[in-house]
């Protein structure tokens, strides 16, 4: 099988009408995947919508999308134009074997939300939610009696900017910085192991790197960063856009809560389709000598981390952003030249988070899951790899980069 025959499909959808019969839609997804010969990936179905990532031939994935649109429009839309199904098709990496980049099984499950932003202990917005969620872990098809979306969100997601709008607006803001006029700030709504290998790097515009280990820690970071966001034009981004849908709603709710002090943000916007769609317009293929257009210089630095067997997408930004945790030399490969499927990635010996350890340092260090040998030291996720930073979920791990 050739790499150009297969793709990774990444999609999400918040349906205008709730999916009340989850069992029925789960069966529809099972039957549709079988009919379209889509045998690998993950699909999560909730009352509020869908979130999926699949691997198959391009022809089969296109057929799957067409049939899914028909189903969603016929059952969950009052008006056909109400459906917002964000579907992205991603190429395979040219440096890895095709079969190693495809899912080897298919998982279709019911979940409470499209993405989970709510596992926050003792948080007043989520009273009684976490304990219910823990009790449901062995029964994923059992949902809360009330719709979580209606309990939590009083605001629509922030307005979307197309990749072109995002690029032009932030490029303009960067120029304004030279005249001391910019008041913009970026929020990277992803986790630390994602931003370690790539992030938007725009001269003159600071970025809040949350450095979390899980998405549900993001609200705590936002609450601790109010002073940095007050009075600013806020621009949010994530891998494919789905996390910013929820994060932007939470930020708006926070702005209107008693916790907010200082000025509200002048505006809150999000990148439509996330980094993935931006790099489709402004990135370049790995290992290809495609020159950049000086008038459209890519604002993203490094690689886009993805949650499929590729680990990173082949569309890349300018320069490399990753550094070896131990010696700080440039390095952005968690797998040290191996395919992610062979499970030789570097991980912290305590909390198991992915860490960057260059090839020169790797042979003298023990990562999680590897046997301890004489003269081999265990490596952790903290500075210089000497200790674990408490699983990285404390708000003090967040930082502002850029000027």
Residues 206 and 66 in one domain: no
- Determine, yes or no, domain membership for 132: no
- Determine, yes or no, domain membership for 180: yes
- Per-residue pLDDT, 39: 96
For the chain, what is the domain count?
2
- Determine, yes or no, domain membership for 22: yes
- Per-residue pLDDT, 80: 67
Closest by CA position to 23, among listed 115, 139, 109, 145? 109
In angstroms, the CA 174 to CA 321 distance is 19
- Per-residue pLDDT, 290: 47
Q: Supply 216's token pair.
A: 């549900």
To 10 degrees, what angle do helices 58-76 and 22-35 make?
A: 150
Instruction: Using DSSP bridges, classify how beta strands 207-209 and 184-188 pair: parallel, antiparallel or unpaired.
Output: parallel
- Determine, yes or no, domain membership for 46: yes
pLDDT digits (tens, 9 = 90+) for 345-359: 999 999 999 999 999
Measured at the CA of 194, the angle between CA 188 and CA 195, to 5 degrees, comes to 50
Q: Are the C-beta atoms of 299 and 201 separated by less than 8 Å?
A: yes
Residues 31 and 107 in one domain: yes
- Per-residue pLDDT, 176: 76
What CATH number is attached to the domain comprising 280? 3.40.250.10
Residues 69 and 211 in one domain: no
Residues 171 and 244 in one domain: yes
What is the domain extent for residue 97? 3-114
Residues 98 and 223 in one domain: no
Given its phi and psi angles, is residue 81 left (phi above 0), alpha (psi -120 to 50 degrees) or beta? Answer: alpha
pLDDT by position in tens, the chain (length 403): 555 699 999 999 999 999 999 999 999 999 999 999 999 999 999 999 999 999 999 999 999 999 999 999 999 987 767 788 999 999 999 999 999 999 999 999 999 889 988 643 443 433 443 344 444 444 443 444 344 444 456 789 999 999 999 999 999 988 876 667 679 999 999 999 999 999 999 999 999 999 999 998 999 999 999 999 999 999 999 999 999 999 999 999 999 999 999 899 999 999 999 999 999 999 986 544 444 444 468 999 999 999 999 999 999 999 999 999 999 999 999 999 999 999 999 999 999 999 999 999 999 999 999 988 878 999 999 999 999 987 767 788 899 998 6
- Determine, yes or no, domain membership for 30: yes
Phi, psi dihedrals of residue 375, rounded to the nearest 5°? 80, 0
Q: Are the C-beta atoms of 277 and 88 separated by less than 8 Å?
A: yes
Residues 176 and 267 in one domain: yes
Strand partners, 330: 323
- Per-residue pLDDT, 146: 41
To 10 degrees, what angle do helices 274-282 and 163-177 make?
A: 80
Burial class, 165, CB count within 10 angstroms (exposed 0-12 / middle 13-18 / buried 19+): middle
- Measured over the CA atoms of residue 247, residue 188, residue 227 and residue 160, the dihedral's sign is negative
- Per-residue pLDDT, 169: 95
pLDDT digits (tens, 9 = 90+) for 90-138: 999 999 999 999 999 999 999 988 998 864 344 343 344 334 444 444 4
Q: Are the C-beta atoms of 390 and 380 separated by less than 8 Å?
A: no
Residues 86 and 219 in one domain: no
- Per-residue pLDDT, 108: 97
Q: Are the C-beta atoms of 17 and 74 separated by less than 8 Å?
A: no
- Per-residue pLDDT, 223: 95
- Per-residue pLDDT, 130: 39
Residues 199 and 56 in one domain: no
- Determine, yes or no, domain membership for 326: no
- Determine, yes or no, domain membership for 27: yes
Measured at the CA of 274, the angle between CA 273 and CA 279, to 5 degrees, comes to 95
* pTM for this prediction: 0.89
What CATH number is attached to the domain comprising 95? 3.30.70.100
Question: Considering 114, 147, 173, which residue would you say is the last residue of a domain?
Answer: 114
Residues 176 and 276 in one domain: yes
- Measured over the CA atoms of residue 69, residue 75, residue 78 and residue 83, the dihedral's sign is negative
- Determine, yes or no, domain membership for 18: yes
Instruction: Using DSSP bridges, classify how beta strands 207-209 and 399-401 pair: parallel, antiparallel or unpaired.
Output: antiparallel
Burial class, 260, CB count within 10 angstroms (exposed 0-12 / middle 13-18 / buried 19+): middle
């Amino acid at each position: 099988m050739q790499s150009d025959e297969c793709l990774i499909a990444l999609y999400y959808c918040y349906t205008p009408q709730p999916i009340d019969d989850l069992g029925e839609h789960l069966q529809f997804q099972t039957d549709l995947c079988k009919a379209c010969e889509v045998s690998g990936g993950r699909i999560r179905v909730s009352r509020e919508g869908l979130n999926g990532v699949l691997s198959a031939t391009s022809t089969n994935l296109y057929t799957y999308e067409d049939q899914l649109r028909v189903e969603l429009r016929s059952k969950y839309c009052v008006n056909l134009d109400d459906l917002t199904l964000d579907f992205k098709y991603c190429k395979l990496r040219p440096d890895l074997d095709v079969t190693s980049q495809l899912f080897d099984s298919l998982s279709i499950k019911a979940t409470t939300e499209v993405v989970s932003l709510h596992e926050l202990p003792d948080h007043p917005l989520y009273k009684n939610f976490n304990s219910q969620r823990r009790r449901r872990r062995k029964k994923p098809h059992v949902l809360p009696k009330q719709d979580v979306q209606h309990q939590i969100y009083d605001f629509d997601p922030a307005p979307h900017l197309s990749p072109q709008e995002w690029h032009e607006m932030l490029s303009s803001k960067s120029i304004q910085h030279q005249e001391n006029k910019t008041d913009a700030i970026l929020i990277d709504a992803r986790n630390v192991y994602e931003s370690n290998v790539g992030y938007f790097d725009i001269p003159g515009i600071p970025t809040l790197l949350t450095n979390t280990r899980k998405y549900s820690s993001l609200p705590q970071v936002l609450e601790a960063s109010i002073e940095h966001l007050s009075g600013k034009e806020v621009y949010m981004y994530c891998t494919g856009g789905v996390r910013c849908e929820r994060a932007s709603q939470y930020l708006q709710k926070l702005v209107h809560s008693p916790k907010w002090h200082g000025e509200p943000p002048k505006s809150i916007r999000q990148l439509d389709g996330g980094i993935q769609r931006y790099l489709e317009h402004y990135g370049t293929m790995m290992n290809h000598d495609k020159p950049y257009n000086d008038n459209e210089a890519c604002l993203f630095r490094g690689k886009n981390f993805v949650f499929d067997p590729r680990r990173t997408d082949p569309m890349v930004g300018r320069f490399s952003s990753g550094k070896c945790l131990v010696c700080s030399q440039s390095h952005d490969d968690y797998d040290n030249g191996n395919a992610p499927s062979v499970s030789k990635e570097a991980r912290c010996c305590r909390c198991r988070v992915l860490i960057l350890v260059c090839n020169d340092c790797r042979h003298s260090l023990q990562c999680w899951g590897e046997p301890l040998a004489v003269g081999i030291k265990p490596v952790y996720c903290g500075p210089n790899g000497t200790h674990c930073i408490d699983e990285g979920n404390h708000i003090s791990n967040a930082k502002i980069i850029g000027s």
